[in-house]
Structure 1
Amino acid sequence: MTSPLITPAELAALDGVTVLDVRWRLGGPPGIDFYREGHIEGAVYCDLDTDLAAPPGQHAQGEQGGQGAQSGQGGNGGRHPLPDAAAFQRAMRRLGVSDGRPVVVYDDAAATVAARAWWALRYFGHHNVRVLDGGLPAWIQAGLPTTKETPHPTEGDFTARPGGMPALTADEAAALAKRGVLLDARAAERYRGEVEPIDPVAGHVPSAVSAPTTENVGQDGRFLAPEALRARFAELGVREGAETGAYCGSGVTAAHEVLALEVAGLPASLYVGSWSDWVSDPTRPVSTGA
């Protein structure tokens, strides 16, 4: 299996690659400000809120199985819903993404944001996408240069084809939690319902398992080795053949969980709407505690 990760040295040696800078901060300042201060040469800024998500919305009432996910809508509301195929295609073409050209994505937050770009591109049918392991800090630590010059990429020819990665609706996430393993990628105290700094209701999806995404990486911001990740997920009940899904607050760090599972050789589905979608429907049950 080809690793979904790439090292700074490997990226520096590549020609003919589209590089996306996906830095973002919850509550700001805008990621574009960090990009303008310095980025990898040739990298184009990709905005989480406008390029990788539709406008925030309420839970999609009356969803039917996985049809919403397969159509590219995700069947989800929440703070970062999946954009429709046409909107995503326009955004990626504007950024220079083409079907036959490799893409590398990075951030400065241990890939917790860049993973959303990796997952979205894979979901919409791009087969050659990798994440810079360790992100911009690893690039700089390797002694590689940055620039403030903004590139002007030629428009790409990427065609969005939904369904390249498994996505879950709220109903499907609830069912999977009972028959398989549904991982909650948020901090453990948010899972337990002790605090909730963002969404209006605290707690977790019933039967979900706490699996903070911060434990997928080491202190250097790089992913743990595949065998270490397999051991971590095995302790959480995830093994080969076990149906697995992941969610977080709004489908961003949960993509990091899916990425870590792929590094470990374990496939998983993403509940894109995640907790912010779940609690927008007051009829959904909520669990608290460990």
Structure 2
Amino acid sequence: MLTVAPKGFHCVDAERNCNPCLDAAKACNLNSSCKRQRSAYIATCSKEDPNKGEACSKKRCHKALRLFLDRVPPEFSHRLLFCPCQSVGCAERRRQTIVPDCSYKDKEKPNCLELRRVCRQDSLCRSRLADYMVNCWVTPHTVSTCPNQDNHQACLVSYARLIGTDMTPNYVDSSFSNWTISPWCTCKGSGNQEEECMNFLRYFSDNTCLRNAIQAFGYGMDNMQNKNVSVPGPSATTKTGSDWSTGTSEAPFDTIPKYTEPDGDLGKTRGLPEDHSACLCANVWALLPSLVLALVLAQHAL
């Protein structure tokens, strides 16, 4: 894992002043929608639940997180979730992004296969887990590291959509150089199902596509071909009706812009060859009257 200053995140002093996760939080606070939704889920996920005598209501916390991720553009939410870190303090802030004591952790870790069973019983969790598998997992023998022509963005969107479900994933610790992502579960005590359990856990903890997608996002190295690929919607084999727990419809997947934004000063698209065909045609049509007149005069002279 790279530990140098990320390309696209410029730090004068990487050891003391660089904290992309803090910068992401500041950027969110400057956007009214992001600030409002982030404040709402933090307040909900930090509030005690007196009815159950618990630190918080995980169900309400998950709902607030889903609202945040559904309503806030990825340019803000993804910066909070996938900010690259070069220090423990930064990595801990990144881990705390989803308020893990409420949204992620529980009193005991369930078996991963049991967590999968619970997720499959819920239509929302089941469909989002299926989409994560479609967009983030490839077999060890596949040439590419991500499905859909190495579409990193599709994987990041599917990962973010799992947050706020029973299968909510997160960084397991504050490591910044060798981080691991996992849902809150374990394979201990799996008996003769241990291999199946470990294989399922690897979909998160040892997922080359997810790791590359997060690293490409943080280090500004996402390949350009992703700019021409739309993020796939939910897989055809799964149901994606309304989000029954929030009362809102499923947010559509984002579409990756096909080209970079035009430069406001030059009025041209950066990084793309200019197409002169339209100008050439226009010039030919503009010259036609002059050519016709010249031909008439020439015939008259003859």
State the TM-score bracket (shorter-chain normalisation). under 0.3
Provide the TM-score with structure 2 as the length reference. Answer: 0.24
Q: Answer 1 or 2: higher relative contact order, Cα 8 Å, separation at least 6.
A: 1
Provide the TM-score with structure 1 as the length reference. Answer: 0.25
Considering fraction of residues, name the structure with more strand.
1
- Structure having the higher Rg: 2
Considering fraction of residues, name the structure with more helix.
2
